Structure 1
Amino acid sequence: MKNVVILDDYQEVALEMADWARLGSRASVKVVNRRFSDRNALKQAIAQANVLVCNRERTRIDRDLIADLPDLELIVTSGMQNKAIDIAAANERGIPVCGTAMLGYPTVELTWALILAFFRNLPSEIASLKAGGWQVGLGHGLQGKTLGIVGYGRIGKGVAKAGLGFGMNVLALSRSLTADSAAADGVQKADLDTLLAKSDVVSLHLNVNSESRGLIGAKQFERMKNTALFVNTARSILIDETALVEALTKGTIGGAALDVFDEEPLPNYHPLLSTPKTLLTPHLGYVTEENYRASYSEALENIEAWLDGSLTRVLTA
């Protein structure tokens, strides 16, 4: 019998999201709900794993960890890419890495939840009401304002479409975007400097690569309006987090709505927790029942295919 270990099931729902009983006597399934700050403790918890099921990039599966897991035969991750897994090191050991589909619209929806909550001061207004108060500030509308989308892929296009629905002007940045294709979508192609300078909301939706890593730093925040909202529901590695804290503290930008961080879960001593004009959520972009059911069901299919002697949805280094 093979040992399947599901990592980082923070909500303790993984076993409900797929019919794991289909594995029958071929495999046992163990769930790890906690995150390990101590790598030795992590190794001990998963030492007997033949199959690791990773929930996005919550746990780093690096070369050293792979080397310390002699029984490991298969890695499955939610999503069709995972920068936290050293796929090359796994493949050198003859360990395939397989992915799953992920829905894009939950991140689009969360992006807009953050933007709307920020512009209408919802956290402060809700807190006031619960404390026995009433209105405490003035919100701001979106119509006629400019939305800048950095990364115009599946999620970026979804965010742009909603922005157009709110009556916003939309600027978009993407290597593959042309002026004609942008116009066909009702948006305008822009370079980064122009987008930053003109936008009232700047939202990141890039994949991580050598060009995008650290794309937004102190110089980029300086180019933004001092009233602009910066939104990141993509990856923290796209920005200089320290520069963002400084920009918010100095009032260089108007605020930040963030769902991703350099260190996750965010430690209680992190400066962002006490930085003004922030709206922070604990990496909820993809965390919906619909997404979990889709990804865990395909993770199960990947394991079943492997047990049957074939592979599906194989990722390459």
Structure 2
Amino acid sequence: MKIMMCGSKEGLARDLDLEINIIKEKLGEDTEIVIFEYSGTEKEELKKEIATVDGVLISLVDLDSDIIREMKQCKVISVQATGYNYVDLDVCKENKIGLTAIDEYCTQEVADHCMAMLLSVARKIKFYNNDIEVNKNYAYNSTSGLIRLEGATLAIMGFGKIGKAVAKRAQGFGLNVIVYSPSCTQDVAKAHGCTLVTPDEIYAQADFIALTMRLTAQNENIINAESIAKMKKCPVIVNVARGALIDDDALIDGLDKGVIFGAGLDVLKEETAEYASKFINRDDILLTPHTAFYSDTSQYEAQKISVDNLIYMLTGEYEKVCKIILDVQKR
């Protein structure tokens, strides 16, 4: 049996021995394991190598239709993340390749990170730090407009596990929480001490907006020039979900015009230092490099769950798989 561990340079910068040892233990010492670092430019080499694998474990790489069509022998792709929008599902189905993902491994970390960004922007932590380090100015009143959290309104767009965890933390700070989620009911929202509202109600009422929703064709660029123009309370916007939820040019324009107080962005449309440069040298934007998920504990669980998913699909122990996205194998 042949297994490929495919990832970007960043995605493979982990203790790979954890997965390798589990694969060898469960599938046999003679299992061939190929580690392929993919930046997007080695497509032909990847297509050739991936054609003979039985399973693929992927981390932070796109598998497009051209690559998946070469995977004639593959039985499963295991995604080391909760999101899988960078895998072509239609072609997986054509080639009878199963797809699995992680259902739960970093909810606590992402919710904590969301609140950390919200607090940092609201309290202008970046401004004060730069004022001391760069300007050598040690004065509390060198800026103004800081926001009191207690009694303010946080709008959470997306009310799954992470959205609910953010709400729980926010309520501890005395924030009123309103939520928008097409799949949520008012009863569910109320059970968590929140009120279900429409996007327009969010734009009218929110002092803070947290994006925790899964990216879909319907919500891409949900924060755009039109929605920003409806924002009445100069909110802080925090995105710990997907970069494509925000029209970046519209966001910067809203910040420049004072319609938006500040932004905390853990995700961008293009997650490179070059693309991030459009947001730097601003005290009203706080950036982190898609690190909301990260802790030693979450990293371990992501590796363990995804490799277990791969093995269970290959050994036919489907009931043990954490999350099956596409099940095309005969039982």
Normalising by structure 2, report the TM-score: 0.83
Counterpart for residue 171 of structure 2: 164
What amino acid maps onto 2:305 in structure 1?
A: E
Contact 1:47-1:69 at 8 Å conserved across structures: no
What amino acid maps onto 2:251 in structure 1?
A: L
Contact 1:80-1:315 at 8 Å conserved across structures: no
Counterpart for residue 114 of structure 1: 117
SS of the residue 2:263 aligns to:
strand
Alignment of 1:25 with 2:25, yes or no, is no
Contact 2:268-2:276 at 8 Å conserved across structures: no
| Cα pair distance change 1:182/1:314, threshold 3 Å | closer
Deviations, residues 246-265 of structure 1 (Å, cap 9, x unaligned): 22232221111111111123
| Cα pair distance change 1:167/1:69, threshold 3 Å | same
What amino acid maps onto 1:44 in structure 2?
A: E
Deviations, residues 102-135 of structure 1 (Å, cap 9, x unaligned): 3212111110110111122222333444455534
Residue 147 (structure 1) shift: 0.7
Counterpart for residue 150 of structure 2: 143
SS of the residue 2:312 aligns to:
helix
Counterpart for residue 2 of structure 1: 2
Q: Percent identity?
A: 24
Counterpart for residue 36 of structure 1: 39
Contact 1:48-1:69 at 8 Å conserved across structures: no
SS of the residue 1:97 aligns to:
strand
Q: Distance in 2 between matches of 1:25 and 1:46?
A: 25
Larger mean CA deviation between 210-219 and 278-287 belongs to 210-219
**Unaligned stretches of 5+ in structure 2?**
none
The two structures, once aligned, show a CA RMSD in angstroms of 2.7
Contact 1:101-1:294 at 8 Å conserved across structures: no
What amino acid maps onto 2:168 in structure 1?
A: K
Deviations, residues 205-241 of structure 1 (Å, cap 9, x unaligned): 2222343233221111111136311111111222222
What amino acid maps onto 1:4 in structure 2?
A: M
SS of the residue 1:25 aligns to:
coil
| Aligned length, in residue pairs | 312
Residue 69 (structure 1) shift: 4.8
Counterpart selection for 1:94 from 87, 92, 96: 96
SS of the residue 2:294 aligns to:
coil
Contact 1:78-1:101 at 8 Å conserved across structures: no
Contact 1:43-1:69 at 8 Å conserved across structures: no
Contact 2:6-2:61 at 8 Å conserved across structures: no
Q: Distance in 2 between matches of 1:226 and 1:30?
A: 53
Counterpart selection for 1:52 from 43, 52, 56: 56
Counterpart for residue 315 of structure 1: 325
SS of the residue 1:4 aligns to:
strand
Q: Distance in 2 between matches of 1:254 and 1:32?
A: 43
Q: Distance in 2 between matches of 1:250 and 1:27?
A: 59
Counterpart for residue 13 of structure 1: 14
Q: Distance in 2 between matches of 1:108 and 1:221?
A: 24
What amino acid maps onto 2:97 in structure 1?
A: I
Counterpart for residue 87 of structure 2: 85
**Unaligned stretches of 5+ in structure 1?**
none
What amino acid maps onto 1:113 in structure 2?
A: A
Contact 1:110-1:285 at 8 Å conserved across structures: yes
Residue 271 (structure 1) shift: 2.3
Residue 178 (structure 1) shift: 3.9
SS of the residue 2:324 aligns to:
coil
| Cα pair distance change 1:219/1:113, threshold 3 Å | same
What amino acid maps onto 1:316 in structure 2?
A: L
| Cα pair distance change 1:28/1:253, threshold 3 Å | same
Larger mean CA deviation between 91-100 and 69-78 belongs to 69-78
Q: Distance in 2 between matches of 1:196 and 1:173?
A: 11
| Cα pair distance change 1:32/1:290, threshold 3 Å | farther
| Cα pair distance change 1:200/1:6, threshold 3 Å | same
Counterpart selection for 2:69 from 47, 67, 70: 67
Larger mean CA deviation between 291-300 and 122-131 belongs to 122-131
